Amino acid sequence: MKTPASTTPTVYVVDDDVSIRESLSSLIRAEGMLVEVFASPLEFLSLDRLEDFSCVVLDVRMPGLDGLSLQDELTRRGWEVPIIFITGHGDVPDAVRAMKAGAIDFLKKPFEDFALMNAITSALSRVSKAFHERLEIAELQARYDQLTPREKEVLVMATKGRANKVIALELGISESTVKVHRHHVMSKMQFRSLPELALAVQRLRHESH
């Protein structure tokens, strides 16, 4: 399972106006976020994938493939990312279409810096919960992967409520050895109680199916 590369949000800016790209990039970076800029939707679509914790600031009117068409293409690809549209035209039908398709906001240029940052914050809040849940699962998986095959066997039996003597009998090892394995399991998985560990194992099994 892939661990998300960064807990810092990434904002993708897609606009054919270089001055807009530069000003928005400076603004967003000043807020402590990562920024990637693109001069066209086709350039943006050359990405292999998007960061999990991200959003897109997208100009509506651009030569060739426009912002609304890019929104449709992202949906077709299954790239679920919140979009904030910016436009110098303020076309009401475009705004209605964009919002119906799931856009977070539709800002008319020139807009105040705080208006854009509020929209970005709103967009990122939509993905924050899901992102952090994926991060927790990835961390749990990484801890589980550190267990030896024997420790995984002990883990499964212990979380099913088997007593140490029963586990020892089934695995053909001493009860004291089982206790050592259980200690290592709890330490590596970073849990203090068996019920908490059992719930974590359930989450891992659910995510793997």
| Phi and psi at residue 21, to the nearest 5° | -60, -45
pLDDT at 174 > cutoff 90: yes
- Contact yes or no for 108/87 (Cβ under 8 A): yes
User: Is this model's pTM higher than 0.75 or not?
Assistant: no
Q: Where is average pLDDT lowest: 30-39, 118-127, 149-158, 173-182?
A: 118-127
- Contact yes or no for 44/67 (Cβ under 8 A): no
pLDDT at 179 > cutoff 60: yes
Q: Would you state the pLDDT for residue 93?
A: 63
pLDDT-derived band of residue 1, with 50, 70 and 90 as boundaries?
Answer: very low
Q: Would you state the pLDDT for residue 133?
A: 76
